[in-house]
Each structure stands twice: as C-alpha cells, then as structure tokens.
Amino acid sequence: DADVTQTPRNRITKTGKRIMLECSQTKGHDRMYWYRQDPGLGLRLIYYSFDVKDINKGEISDGYSVSRQAQAKFSLSLESAIPNQTALYFCATSEGTGAQETQYFGPGTRLLVL
Amino acid sequence: AQKITQTQPGMFVQEKEAVTLDCTYDTSDQSYGLFWYKQPSSGEMIFLIYQGSYDEQNATEGRYSLNFQKARKSANLVISASQLGDSAMYFCAMRDGGGADGLTFGKGTHLIIQP
C-alpha cells in the first residue's frame, strides 16, 4: 500500500461548488503539506501543518482552507471553486528537521473547475 | 526570499549518455537543503537525491549524483548512463534551515531520452 494516499485522484467540478481533497499517510510523520502545480510551473505551497494543532499558510493560501483531523489526515478545501484553481494538487509528508527535511509526495489529485 | 532557477526547459539526450540538469539557487541562509524530484508522465513526484549546505561530499544515489558548487550556488543533477525510463520532468527544490515553510521549487526541466 502507498504511504501517502490522496482522494479523489481526479475531480471535475463547477464554479462555486465546495470541494474537499483528502490526504492520508501511514508514514507516521508529523508534518504535512499541500501544494499545487500549474502547467509549466513548479509546485507552490498552499498550507502546511506541523502537528494537529499547528496550521500555517503557505505562498498561495487565498481561496483555500485546511483541516488536520488527525496526525495521519490532512484535508484541503476549496470553499467556492473557481476556474483558475484548476491544477494538480499534491499532499506531502516529511521527516527530519530543518533543511534536511525530506518530503514524500502523494500521487496527486487532478482538479478541473468548469 | 529563496529562489530556484532551472534554465533548461527541455533536453533531448541519447540513451546511455550522461545527462546534467542545471539548477542554481539563491538564499541568504547558511543552512539549507537542496533536493531533486522526478515527475514521470503519470504525474507523481519521486524523491531522487538530497544535498545539505554543510555536506562536504557531493551526494550520490545510484545513477544520480548532485554536483554541488556552493560558491556558485549551483546544484546540478547528473544522471549517468541514461535510460529510456529517465524521460520525465525533473524539479530542483530547496528548503532553508529554519524549516518554517515547505520546499521552493524551480520550474523544471523536461528530459527526453532518445533510443
């Protein structure tokens, strides 16, 4: 079984709809992240969490919210989806500390907002 | 602010040749980590190799090595004896020692290995 799973893997939704992307991990890591990837660009950080009670905004948090339900679960919500949120979304977990912290990514969720 | 620059949008390489993918970075931190990830057409992000700013030796992982030149702020990925399965997007990323944020990524290099 994969260490980091994301559901759904693909989703089509309409403008204005609420949508939740879920991430689960079995690696036992405390730190979890949400990134988005747009064509021709690298990944950009949306939100990150160092533990259940610690949630932090990343570079592009506007229009998104997150919930850390447990150490192993980290969900990303789009309260009112818009077309420019069409992207590939990745969840990641990490081990280590500071600069040595290696991040391991889930398989990604392809989201299309019509 | 951190910044990663990958100047090669795309590369074509013959199978079995060595490949060097360029990455330069900019940071004011003394402690930082540099990472390379591979993204095949299927979309997943695969961790390849890590180099710490205080590491004196260049990192190696199988056919992957990282040519770390600290004074030039470069962290090039070298793939020896390229294979068809190496065709993918490759991303350079960095993280500072404060650990407050996630990774900062470059825009990637699309590598195509030709038979």
Task: Write the pLDDT tens digit of every residue in A47-90.
Answer: 999 888 899 999 999 999 999 999 999 999 999 999 999 999 99
Among chain A residues, the shortest Cα distance to B102 is held by: A45
- Render pLDDT for A14-44 as a digit per residue (tens, 0 to 9): 999 999 999 999 989 989 999 999 987 889 9
- Alpha-carbon gap, residue A5 to A2, rounded angstroms: 6
Nearest to A39 by CA among A108, A87, A79, A101: A87
Can you give the pLDDT at residue A39? Answer: 83
Is the pLDDT at B79 greater than 60, yes or no?
yes
Answer whether A74 touches B (CB < 8 Å): no
Query: What Å distances lie between residue B79 and A44, A64, B19, B49, B99, CA to CA?
Result: 26, 38, 5, 11, 29
In degrees rounded to 5, what are phi and psi of residue B85?
Answer: -70, -5
- Alpha-carbon gap, residue B84 to A82, rounded angstroms: 38
Place of tokens 């949120």: A85
Q: Do A101 and B99 touch (CB under 8 A)?
A: yes
- Alpha-carbon gap, residue A43 to A89, rounded angstroms: 9
Alpha-carbon gap: B80 to the closest alpha carbon of chain A (Å): 23
Q: What is the mean pLDDT of residues B46-57?
A: 93
C-beta separation of A18 from A12 below 8 A: no
The Cα angle at residue B29 between residues B27 and B33, in degrees rounded to 5: 80
Nearest to A6 by CA among A95, A110, A114: A110
